[in-house]
Amino acid sequence: MGGKYRITGDKYPRMRRPRRRRSKLVLATISSVVALGLAGWGTLQLIDVFTGGDKTASAADRKANCPSAKPSAPAVALPKPEKIKVNVYNATPRGGLAKAAADELKKRGFTIGKVGNATAAYDKKVAGTGMLLGAPTAVNGTFPVLGTQLPGATTKTDARKSTDVDLIIGTKFKAFSTPQAASTALSALTKPSPAPSTC
């Protein structure tokens, strides 16, 4: 057998195809581009997850479209002190306390009704600063206004039909809140609270 290759013996030479370095280089380049693209996409997804990113609108757009905060409820219409008739009763062992308290409330604009000692049901049985006793309608009207004068006073309703309220002075009573503090507390009651922002 002539030519370049001669067969001598029982072993044949291996004929390998020439290596194609160019195809391997192209394949490696494509693989690198795909890997980088996937890494970049994954990074953007993680950023969106941790920052709460919104694809449809930016934070500035959401703020611009957010309506201004509106009160959750209109201002509460509370009665004026002069419209509230207060009966003042002393449930403590200290004498003259009911009259002194009634005089102070009168100076602050309240209308004073009966003044005296508490009945047996409450005499020496009001452990706190005081108790406000009135009709169920007083809960959202008279009680909050009178309560600004005596912080910590408890409230209780009874079956009366009249609009007057009993202030029963308790054993821990020392003094009413200052007129300035009472006025500030009353202003806070009449101001509507802003609705929570949804933007």
Query: By the 8 A CB rule, do 88 and 98 touch?
Result: yes
Helix (H, G, I), strand (E, B) or coil at 192: coil
pTM value is 0.60
186: nearest Cα among 154, 158, 144, 153: 144
d(CA 193, CA 175): 30
**How far, rounded to the nearest angstrom, does the alpha carbon of residue 66 sit from its chain's CA centroid?**
19
Angle, CA 99 vertex, CA 111 and CA 156 arms, to 5°: 65
Q: What is the residue-level pLDDT of the chain in tens, covering all 199 positions?
A: 555 555 565 655 565 555 556 667 777 778 777 777 776 776 667 666 556 555 444 555 555 555 555 555 545 689 999 999 999 999 999 999 999 999 999 999 999 999 999 999 999 999 999 999 999 999 999 999 999 999 999 999 999 999 999 999 999 999 999 999 999 998 888 776 555 555 5
